[in-house]
Amino acid sequence: MNGAAVPMSLLEISHLKTSFFTHLGEVKAVDDVSISLDQGETLGIVGESGSGKSVAMLSVMRLLSDNGRIVSGGINFRGRDIAKLSERDMENLRGKQIGMIFQDPMTSLNPVFTIGNQLTEMISRHLGLRKKDARGKAVEMLSAVMIPSPDERMRQFPHELSGGMRQRAMIAMALCCDPDILIADEPTTALDVTIQAQIIDLMKDLKKRTGTSVILITHDLGVVAGLCDNICVMYAGRIAERGSSTDIFHNSKHPYTKGLLASVPNPKKLTRERLVPIKGAPPDLLRPPEGCAFAPRCGQAMRICFLRRPPLFKVGDLHGASCFLNHPDAPPEAV
C-alpha cells in the first residue's frame, strides 16, 4: 500500500519489534510484526498465551512497562508516527481516538472511584463537556452497553459489579469518547459461556451502530468466528498467518493455524468431534530459534525450517503464511 493514490490504512504497524530487557537478557516479545487496520474493519489477533498479542497492542498505546521498549519499526495512526508523539499527545490519543479494553480489568477501572466518576471524568476531559452533560453522556453509554438501571450503577464501585457488568462498564469506558479504534484484549476470557456470548453480541451490535474499527485479541478462535473480517495468527512474537476469516478458517496454509483450529470446538458441527491439542510448548523468547519458531512442534517441518526463518509467503490476495511449505519447491500438496 505505498502507491500515492492508495489511501493509507487507519492504523499501520510495520516491522514492529518490541523487547523487554530483563536481568536474563532481551525478551523479544514482538519480533517483526506488520499489521494494518482499515476504517470499519474488525481484525482478530489470535495466538497461544505469550505469543505477543497484548505487547503488540500495548506498543500501539505506548503503555509498555518500564523495562519494555519499541526497538524498531513504525506505528502509523492516521498518518502520524505514534513513536514520535509527545506523552501529552499520547494522553489525548488514548481513550479519545483509540480506546482499549485491557486484559487486566483493574488497568481500566480504578477500584477507588465509582463507575460514574470515572466515566464522567473521562468524557469531560476528552470531549470538553460540562460536568452535567458529561454525566448524561455517561448514563447514555451505560444504557448503550445494556447495563440495567444505569443511574444506580453510576454510584457503584467496580467491585460491586458482576464480572459481566464490569466487562460492559469497561466497554462503555473504552467507547465513551467515540474512538476511531477499539482494542479489546481478551474481553470475554474471564466470563462464563452465556455472558461471553452476550458480550460478543453486544460488540457486534455496537460495531454495526458506530462503525468503529475493532482489534479483538483472543487465544480462542471460536470467539473471532463470525465477528472478524480479517485475522492475524501470532506465534512466538511473529505473524504465522494472516488473511480473511474465510482464508483462515477454510483455507489455512500454516500448520500452526491448523493446529489451533483442531484444538477448538466447531460450534457449527453438532457431532462430538475429537479435539486435538497442539503438542509441546512455545519457545523461550529469550532464546528464539534461528529458523521457524513453530518447527520444533510441527509435524511437517523440513530441514530448512530449522535453519531459516520463513518469510511471509503470499498465498492469496490478502492471504499470507510464514511457512516454507508454501515455497514453490516444497513437496506438492504439503499444505
Ligand X SMILES: Nc1ncnc2c1ncn2[C@@H]1O[C@H](COP(=O)(O)OP(=O)(O)OP(=O)(O)O)[C@@H](O)[C@H]1O
Using CB under 5 A, list all residues that contact Mg ion: 54, 103
- Judged by CB under 6 A, the residue of 285, 292, 312, 325 near ligand X is 285
Q: In what order do the strands lie in the sheet with 98-101?
A: 98-101, 181-185, 213-218, 42-46, 230-235, 238-244, 320-321, 313-314
Partner that binds at residue 134, options ligand X, Mg ion, none, CB closer than 5 to 8 Å by kind: none
Q: Does residue 164 sit in helix, strand or coil? A: helix
Q: Using CB atoms within 10 Å of the CB of residue 257, give its burial: 0 to 12 exposed, 13 to 18 middle, 19+ buried.
A: buried
Q: Residue 281 or residue 307: which is nearer to ligand X going by CB?
A: 281
Q: Which amino acid is at 199?
A: I
Residue with cell 453510576: 154
Q: Which amino acid is present at 33? A: V
Q: Does 251 bind ligand X (CB under 6 A)?
A: no
Comparison of 147 and 185: residue with beta carbon closer to ligand X: 185
Minimum separation from the CB atom of position 54 to ligand X (A): 3
- Candidate segments 44-52, 82-90, 259-267, 301-309, binder of ligand X by CB under 6 A: 44-52
Which residue among 9, 10, 20, 232 contacts ligand X (CB under 6 A)? 20
To the nearest whole angstrom, how small is the minimum distance from the Cβ of residue 124 to ligand X? 32
Residue 194 interacting with ligand X (CB under 6 A): no
Residue 281 touches ligand X, criterion: CB under 6 A: no
Of residues 13 and 29, the one with the C-beta less far from ligand X: 29
**Residue 29 makes contact with ligand X by CB under 6 A:** yes
Nearer to ligand X, 64 or 302 (CB): 64
Distances (CA, A) of 271 to 39, 185, 252, 267, 268: 38, 31, 22, 10, 9
Closest distance between Mg ion and the C-beta of residue 100, in Å? 12
Toward ligand X, which CB reaches closer, 43 or 147? Answer: 43
- Residue-wise over 117-140: b if at least 16 C-beta within 10 A, else e? bbbbebbbebeebeeeebbebbbe
Check binding of 239 to ligand X (CB under 6 A): no
Distance CA 14, CA 172 (A): 30
DSSP string, 247-303: HHHHS---HHHHHHHHTS--TT--S-PPP-PPPS-PPPTTS--SS-TTGGG-TT--H
Shortest Å distance, C-beta 67 to ligand X: 5
Query: Which residue, 33 or 122, is less far from ligand X as judged by CB?
Result: 33
Q: Which x/- pattern, by CB under 6 A, does the window 103-122 give for ligand X?
A: x-------------------
Q: Which of 165, 117, 122 minimizes the C-alpha distance to 143?
A: 165
Task: Give the DSSP letter of residue 140.
Answer: H
* Sheet-wide strand order for 68-77: 25-37, 11-22, 68-77, 80-81
Which CB atom, from 75 or from 335, has the smaller least distance to ligand X? Answer: 75
Is residue 22 at the binding interface for ligand X, with CB under 6 A as the rule? yes
Letter for the amino acid at 187?
P
Nearer to Mg ion, 103 or 252 (CB): 103
Which x/- pattern, by CB under 6 A, does the window 46-85 give for ligand X?
A: -x-xxxxxxx---------x-xx-----------------
Contact 11, 19 (CB under 8 A): no
User: 107 Cβ partners below 8 Å, 6+ apart?
Assistant: none
Site for ligand X in 113-172 (CB under 6 A): none
**Residue 47 near which of ligand X, Mg ion, none (CB within 5-8 Å, type-dependent):** ligand X
Can residue 238 be called a binding residue for ligand X (CB under 6 A)?
Answer: no
- 466447531: which residue's cell? 266
Give me the residues that bind ligand X (CB under 6 A), please: 20, 22, 27, 29, 47, 49-55, 65, 67-68, 103, 219, 285
